[in-house]
């Protein structure tokens, strides 16, 4: 299946010179976590809720005076509308990304493809594999002590993966 059939075709953009506070308002209003950024009718970046938290709030910057282009992710990865969903799934897994802007042959934004869009189309198994692949960097390590009471315990490292609910 082509990406054009799976993507969200109507996408809000942010202007590169827009204040971050306006983009945050767009995210809240539209219940989204990422907004493509355009300049001169071209896709130039992406700003996410995480970008705002880490690059504006955590650094004590004023969101009304900070421009989107100062905190957006540049050099973004994208896909094209004619590509297959299967190829894009592999790209998302490889690059560990959850959303991809979709562009046409003129590099104009025509949509967004998210993990949610893919999960509605793909098998449950494939959706789970993609989510796990994209989320692998969230695997945590924890030192665990085990042994008998009153004796020194050896320490081992245990990998903790996020819990995944089994379908009911």
Q: Answer yes or no: is 157 within a domain.
A: no
Other C-beta atoms within 10 Å of 61: how many?
A: 15
Question: Taking the model in full, what pTM does it have?
Answer: 0.68
Highest mean pLDDT among 33-42, 46-55, 109-118, 145-154: 46-55
Can you tell me the mean pLDDT for 5-34? 94
Identify whether 141 is part of a domain: no
Q: Is residue 99, in this structure, part of any structural domain at all?
A: yes
pLDDT at 127 over 70: no
Cα atoms found within 13 Å of the Cα of residue 56, Cβ hemisphere only: 23
Place of tokens 């996408």: 11
Q: Max CA-CA distance within the chain?
A: 70
- Secondary structure letter of residue 107 according to DSSP: S
Q: Is residue 94 assigned to a domain?
A: yes
Number of C-alpha atoms within 13 angstroms, CB side, residue 134? 19
Domain span at residue 123? 3-136
CB atoms < 10 A from the CB of 21, how many? 15
Q: Is residue 149 part of a domain?
A: no
Q: In this structure, is residue 73 part of a structural domain?
A: yes
DSSP state at residue 104: -
Considering the domain boundaries, does residue 67 fall inside one? yes
Lowest-pLDDT choice from 29-38, 95-104, 112-121: 112-121
How many structural domains does the chain have? Answer: 1
Residue 23 lies in a domain: yes
């Amino acid at each position: 299946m082509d990406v054009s059939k799976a993507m969200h075709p109507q996408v809000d953009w942010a202007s590169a010179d827009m204040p971050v506070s306006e983009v945050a308002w767009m995210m809240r209003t539209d219940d989204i976590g990422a907004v493509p950024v355009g300049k001169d009718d071209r896709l130039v970046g992406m700003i996410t809720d995480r970008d705002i938290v880490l690059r504006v709030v955590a650094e004590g910057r004023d969101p009304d005076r900070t421009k989107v282009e100062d905190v957006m992710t540049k050099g973004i990865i994208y896909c094209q509308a004619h590509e297959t969903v299967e190829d894009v799934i592999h790209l998302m897994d490889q690059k560990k990304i959850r959303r991809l802007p979709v562009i046409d042959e003129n590099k104009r934004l025509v949509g967004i493809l998210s993990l949610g869009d893919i999960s509605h189309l793909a098998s449950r198994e494939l959706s789970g594999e993609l989510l796990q692949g994209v989320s692998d960097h969230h695997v945590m390590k924890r030192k665990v002590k085990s042994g008998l009471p009153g004796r020194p315990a050896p320490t081992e490292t245990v990998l903790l993966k996020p819990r995944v609910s089994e379908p009911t």
